[in-house]
Amino acid sequence: MDAIKEFLKPEIIWFLVGLALLIMEFMLPGLIIAFFGIGACIVGIVCLVTDISLNVQLIIFIVASVLSLLCLRSWLKGIFIGHVKGRQDMTQDLKEFVGERAVVIEKISPKAGGKVELHGTNWSAEADGEISEGATVEVIGKENLTLKVKVL
């Protein structure tokens, strides 16, 4: 019975919770749960040094978890996932394909759309009229991942 009481000390419980949360981070994506594990370990250290109430322990846990999440997540995400050197500016009007020629690989109809090949990549395409497979078309616009095309 005394052995069980040894494991019921708050500092041991917080360390075990922290360890379980850190291990769960390896199984779940997102790099978020680890910060709650860090918060639990911080509470375990504080409980080891001083005797505090459960309410204070919970407040320290929440504050430490949220602060570590806000301060360290982007930095650690860059380390574990890698830094991206170039990102596309999504505020820029993307008209890079306008005027280019593509080949229809799946018949395009006005209501159903179709597929074209442009620069070795297949794209969804829309047109005002029906365009048969194998025809060469010109890109006249782009809406999200769908190219607007017309027959040449």
Nearest Cα to Cα of residue 40 among 69, 60, 67: 60
Return the higher-pLDDT residue of 53 and 82.
Answer: 53
Q: Which of these, 35, 50, 45, 59, lies nearest to 14 by C-alpha position?
A: 45
Give mean pLDDT, residues 82-107.
70
Q: What percent of the chain has pLDDT over 70?
A: 87
pLDDT at 127 over 70: yes
Q: Tell whether pTM > 0.75.
A: no
Domains of the chain: 7-81 (no CATH), 101-151 (2.40.50.140)
**31-46, pLDDT tens digit by residue?**
788 889 999 999 999 9
Tokens encoding 120: 């070795």
Instruction: Please count the residues of the chain.
Output: 152
| Confidence at 90, pLDDT banded by 50, 70, 90 | very low
